[in-house]
Amino acid sequence: MEQPLVSIVTPVFNSGKFISGTIRSVLNQTYKNWEHILVNDCSTDDSLEIISSFASSDSRFKVFHLEVNSGSGVARNLAIKNASGKYIAFLDSDDTWIPERLEHHIEFMERGGYEFSHSSYGYLNEDGSVIPKIYEVSADPVDYRKLLKRTEISCLTAVYNQEKIGKFYMPDLRRKQDYALWLSILKSGIKSYPFPEVLAYYRQRKGSATSNKFRLILKHYKFLRENEKLVIYSSIKYTFYWAVGGIFKYYFK
C-alpha cells in the first residue's frame, strides 16, 4: 500500500521528562511517511532543546513556537495550520504509540474509506510502567450524540482525513479542546470508526484532569451549556452519562 503522508500534532509545554520517549515512539513507527509537528508553548524547562535536537537530525520533525503561553488548543491549531499530510493525527507530549500504530490504523482507514477514526489504548504510570488495563472502544461507529454520552475518542488515537473533510480546529478553550474538536467533526454528520487494537499508551499523571474526575462534573455541564449550546435538561442528562462513564473508565476498567 502506498503510504499517504500523516501529520502528527504535538503541543509541548515543560515536557522535558517525557518528550524524548514520545518522539522515539514516532521514530520507531513501521510506517515512515510522516511529519511530526511540535509546537513549543513557551516551555521553561529543557523541552525546546530536546525537540530541537531531534529536528536537527531528521527533517520530518518540524518545530514551531508560540510567543505567549497560550495552552494546548492554540498550540495544536498552529500545528494543524501547518500540517500538509492527508491525515492529521494527535499525540500529546507524555503519551506514546506502539511501533505499528500508524501502519495498522492508516491501512484500516484507507481500506474502509473512513474520514475519521479512533482506537483502543492502554495506560502508563508516570514512571512509564504499563498499567494492566486497557480502554476498549465499542464496536459501533461514534456519532455526535454517542460522544456526548461517552468519551469514546481520545486524543492519542484520533485521526482525521483533512483532504476529505478539510481542516478542523480546536476552540479557544483551556480544557476540553480536543473533545470539542471531535464533537465539531461529528456534528457535521461524519462518524468516527473504531479500530479495536491497542495502538497507544496514555500516561496517567498525578494531578491530571483524569485523576480529579469528580471535580470536573460542574465544568463539564458548563461546557455543554456554553460550547455545545445544549438546553438545561440535555446538559444534565449528558453530564450524568459522561460522569458515570468516566468513573467506570478510569476506576473500574
Is residue 18 helix, strand or coil? Answer: coil
**Which amino acid is located at 63 in the chain?**
V
Q: What is the mean pLDDT of residues 131-153?
A: 94
Contacts of 189 (CB under 8 A, 6+ apart): none
Q: What is the mean pLDDT of residues 23-52?
A: 98
34, containing H or E segment: strand 34-40
- Angstrom distance (rounded) from CA 7 to CA 83: 6
| All structural domains of the chain | 6-205 (3.90.550.10), 209-253 (no CATH)
Q: How confident is the model at residue 134 (pLDDT cuts 50, 70, 90)?
A: very high
Q: What is the mean pLDDT of residues 141-155?
A: 95
Pair 153, 118: CB distance under 8 Å: yes
Contacts of 202 (CB under 8 A, 6+ apart): 95, 121, 122, 123, 124, 135, 154, 156
**Per-residue pLDDT for 189 more than 50?**
yes
**Per-residue pLDDT for 65 more than 90?**
yes
Going by their DSSP bridges, the two strands 116-124 and 193-203 should be labelled as parallel
Pair 51, 23: CB distance under 8 Å: yes
- What is the per-residue DSSP string for 99-150? TTHHHHHHHHHHHHT-SEEEEEEEEE-TTSPEEEEEEPPPSSPB-HHHHHHS
Per residue in 93-127, pLDDT (tens digit) is 999 999 999 999 999 999 999 999 999 999 999 98
Compute the Cα dihedral for 217, 223, 226, 232 and give only its sign.
Answer: negative
